[in-house]
Amino acid sequence: MVKRIDVKCHYCGKDLKRGQRHNKYGYYCRGCWNKENGFRRIKTYRKCQQCGKEFRTYPSNIKRGNGKFCSRKCHFKYNIGKPSPCRGRHWKQKNRKPDKFIKCKICGKEFITHSWWKNRQYCGMNCYMKINSERMRKWCLSKIKYKTKEEKRLVMLKFGRESYRRHIKTRLFYYRNLSFKRRNAIGKFTLIEWEKKKKEFGYKCAICGILEEELLNKTGMGLTIDHIIPISKKGMNNIENIQPLCKSCNSRKSNNCYQKIK
């Protein structure tokens, strides 16, 4: 590990541990670097146009025509009765109107508002909520779908059960494919391809020829996915290497290679 060496400022002799600046002449602290290199972000003192108080601002603000007032209050006081600045590209000179003082309806406090804010009646949110809290509460209640938590739970439970039944086939197919992937099987196929393959075989078992409808009535299970060349014997997981079998034929076949019987 490299040891950190403490360095002194080339200009004022101050110890530099963090935030050190370096150029071809040596090391500098932040203030000296600004002095040497003419760094523009040094704040300058200026007099406020409203109250005459001295305040600090950046030279870049002065160049832009800003940095005239020490605070927002002074800025508002100075602009009372004067046209407000343009507030968008579609505004024109004739549309500019002076800012004005308005009395709050609740507390009677005077506050400045812009000319474009026509319907303002309250100084802040606290005064607004004193009158409109009941109206807001009724509006919020009208947006609620369920009256009680129990009603919401029952509706969501019903929706969840319906969704589960609707997507059970895709879910089972996904988990089956995931088991093939965990066994490092090469290739994959979709549910649509599997349905086409069953249609090819006439929805029958490739070995015993039993129909899928009969299987569903007897056992409650349909045709199962079977690899002609098993995955254990380096068989592919493509649709070409797959045939539909009933559960009993699939378990009897085990990891042997049977030919397709159409």
Comparing 12-16, 48-52, 232-236, the range with the smallest average pLDDT is: 12-16
Tens of pLDDT, residues 189-200: 999 999 999 999
Q: How far is CA 197 from the centre of its chain?
A: 41
Instruction: Residue count of the chain, please give it.
Output: 262
CA distances from 251 to 148, 176, 238 (A): 51, 16, 21
3-state secondary structure of 7: strand
CATH of domain 184-253: 1.10.30
Angstrom distance (rounded) from CA 24 to CA 17? 19
Comparing 19-33, 70-84, 161-175, 220-234, the range with the smallest average pLDDT is: 19-33
The whole-number pLDDT of residue 4 equals 52
Task: Kindly indicate the confidence band of residue 31, based on its pLDDT and cuts at 50, 70 and 90.
Answer: low
Q: Which residues of 87-113 are buried (b: 16+ CB within 10 A; e: fewer)?
A: eeeeeeeeeeeebeeeebebeeeeeee
Mean pLDDT (the chain) is 79
What is the model's pTM? 0.42
In this model, does residue 215 exceed pLDDT 70?
Answer: yes
Sign of CA dihedral 48, 54, 55, 56: positive
For 51-71, what is the mean pLDDT? 85
Q: Which comes out higher in pLDDT, residue 111 or 171?
A: 171
Q: Domain residue spans in the chain?
A: 7-39, 80-84+96-144, 146-182, 184-253
CA angle 106–110–115, rounded 5-degree value = 105
Q: Which residues of 226-245 are buried (b: 16+ CB within 10 A; e: fewer)?
A: bbbebbeeebbbeeebbbbb
Task: Kindly indicate the confidence band of residue 13, based on its pLDDT and cuts at 50, 70 and 90.
Answer: confident
How many CB atoms neighbour CB 172 within 10 A?
A: 12
CA distances from 54 to 20, 71, 104, 150 (A): 32, 11, 33, 64
Angstrom distance (rounded) from CA 137 to CA 124? 19
| Percentage of the chain exceeding pLDDT 90 | 18
Residue 213 CB partners (closer than 8 Å, separation 6+)? 203
